[in-house]
């Protein structure tokens, strides 16, 4: 018996692996920090010199509320007071905001976002949404709110 090579190349790597999760779901990539955002191409380099007093707040779903708290001269932990202030603003001017937001359903969604159901990290339905909550912030604290970059969440 003589040995001959096979008529075509034989795949010796084994069967393809089947996974239950997509590459994105298996990823261990984390969100960029503020400084990494500054170094990345998300914000133009010419703007970097205008950023001062950078505060890297805890990313727990309350982070934009924490940002507002710090910008108002309070501690990060005063974010719950920001939520309360905005809820009071919303309730005191209910008819105006129902009209502004286009109906009771959107009004209720925003009001629900301002009232977390538990202490600790929150799900995305409790995040600060722009421009809706940005308008509330401007009304309550008399400061313009501008969001640069981000996903609007």
Distance CA 15, CA 73 (A): 60
Residue extents of the structural domains in the chain: 57-141
- What is the rounded average pLDDT of the residues 3-17? 68
CA dist 131 → 70, 112, 143 (Å)? 20, 16, 14
DSSP letter assigned to residue 121 = -
Q: In sequence order, which ranges of the chain are alpha helices (DSSP H)? A: 23-26, 34-39, 63-71, 79-92, 94-100, 104-113, 132-141
Give this prediction's pTM.
Answer: 0.63
CA distance 82 to 85: 5
pLDDT for the residue 128: 85
Looking at residue 137, its pLDDT comes to 93
Q: Identify the top-confidence range among 6-10, 80-84, 149-153.
A: 80-84
pLDDT at 145: 79
Mean pLDDT of 109-130: 85
Most confident of 16-25, 51-60, 140-149: 140-149
């Amino acid at each position: 018996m003589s040995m001959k090579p096979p008529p075509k190349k034989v795949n010796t790597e084994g069967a393809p692996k089947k996974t239950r999760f997509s590459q994105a779901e298996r990823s261990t990539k984390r969100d960029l920090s503020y400084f990494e955002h500054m170094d990345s191409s998300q914000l133009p380099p010419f703007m970097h010199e205008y950023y001062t007093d950078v505060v890297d707040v805890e990313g727990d779903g309350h982070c934009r509320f924490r940002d507002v708290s710090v910008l108002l001269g309070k501690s990060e932990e005063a974010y719950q007071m920001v939520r309360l202030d905005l809820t009071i603003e919303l309730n005191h001017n209910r008819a105006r905001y129902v009209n502004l937001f286009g109906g009771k359903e959107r009004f209720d969604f925003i009001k629900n976002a301002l009232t977390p159901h538990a202490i600790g990290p929150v799900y995305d339905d409790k995040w600060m949404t722009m421009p809706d909550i940005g308008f509330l912030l401007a009304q309550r604290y008399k400061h313009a709110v501008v969001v640069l970059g981000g996903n609007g969440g």
